[in-house]
Structure 1
């Protein structure tokens, strides 16, 4: 049973609650419209870009292996050096192979002597066989002896050549110009050559030019094809002939000062990812691009055109939808679903859903609700997008000249350093997706 004091306390609390509930309602203070900042959407001439994640690979990579077995005698380079093709890298102890070669040369001289003796004997027997001084059988044997000695000389000479090749393999030279890795085998260690599991001694990668590989999605490829068909131009134009310039951004957001040029595209799409592998070649004399680096690739997708621009901060996201808030004549916020284009500095291209001159909310979005009034406390002006880099404009492609016979062929983008390297706002490089 409950104590009498506890029962009395519960009864008192219940009566207080009933008295409060039966009293007059409590009025909440009116909700004020959220304070926002607006700016008018602008229309400017821009060039749209497609951006991809790429990785750097050397144009040439050589793994240096030992072709014969033996003990490492000397290492003739310093780890990490720039080497030239034909430069001496390693020496393997040649003593065994030198002895084998000397023996092969001696055998060659021996068989040459036997060959000369056999020829002399044949010449003498050739005079005697006519007079009947020797039998025909003995003469035939002397002919066979000459042929046998000749074959022995050729075999000995071939063996000497083989032994000389093995002796030459004791000295290992660089196959290409490039940056050499550290040595994997030091002096005095045994290396294995030939078939099976030869010993890897080091690697060399070329420096300049270098390759950048990236994957282009199927939609971008179809867009290009549809544009070509709409212009009644050939859709089958090798990427190498299009001379498409690309801009490279490093992982820290630095824009690489030289442009690359697309020179290769795979002949089929990857059915698993719906992408095609594309390669760009770029000069790399200063070695800023190292094999294995991940970079961002920017490729122009069209010629300059006018487009609506809004600040990136004014764009909201709702799952897969993108939207902006526009303030109408009544001062209410109206939600507009938009289709986004490329990023232009701090601005974003709006393809559909917005008109030039409309008041777009650029600050204070969190408290804004569709159809509800807002308090515009400040109006700002949108910044103009970065100027168009003429170097990145796509050239007139093969087939365009057929449509316009007077059109001059487009100049190939220069890979020489620009007078003033173009800078861009730093952006993080996305990691590659496996």
Structure 2
């Protein structure tokens, strides 16, 4: 008698396989994600391998969405047969952005299929009319029947699925939104998009932990993963690529939410700089890079005497550990006592800087606050600071300097190890140590 095939249990989150049923996945630690799956004998069919040099490779022809910021983050547009997953908080504007993109593609004469599992046809049509993207080439399919919706994929150039957690795959167990359903829905859309050579965009919700809802395998199935984020008090939205098989993950797209939809922000430097001419101590300017986009960032520092043995350190927009490290460098290498002061650092406008090129500006702002002496107006600070107090070069200095000159800065303090960069209208001050940088910035005011 043939023995029964052993039963395998597969984790819906990470794909880990085991023959033992447990409540918790031994790989990722998730609870209740192991699902039974009958194992099958491995296929004995052979697949012919091809030499890489014999493969006919053609650059993918991109489909423009009509939104420049979205195209740039995607790497130049949508790739036929590629699948993009965009995630974000509820109400952040994911559906608005994709409906605008679908409407603009339809405006070029191409047919677009918009599948909505969360709204009715009247709701989507009303929003399309408000955004001014209603078109005869924009096809709507509302409901949770995935197979029925994909039947309309035969003659379209672009498809949007909103959202992957709302649809139900026929023949799969579970309610819409469960890990098994989300995985099956995504797989069927991926297969249909590649079979029809049609670009597809999936909308995904995120959990309270900030990760995409559903199995972690979902992010591996698609070609690109975008995150759409923004603060509740601000009308600006940030679009970033977490994964992109066809482009860079360093680009940043910025949009402003208005009554008529999401409007791309062309001059991004003005978002985080109020262009104030008032001389205030503890304020320094730098040019940070988000991918290839230069942004003017205003770093503010406040120092106040404390009577407690453990002074307070607070940072927003810059990592707290980095702030404490720079504080120690200032005290040890430059002789500025910090232990008797509560120190607060903030990057104006809510910008978060991971770029180490902001170190020099942070140190200049800190020294200015400790001495209560304003820094010279029209100056920007570009450099990474090491533990020895040395000022190190930064990446793409030329791009930063040209942006500084365009914004009206007259002076830039950089590392002496940088290559000679000349920008018209901008004085370059080269320094090798933090002491020289602070002397160049504070001595004029103290004299």
The normalised TM-score by structure 1 is 0.19
Of structures 1 and 2, the one scoring higher in RCO (CA 8 A, sep 6+) is: 1
Say which structure is richer in strand. 1
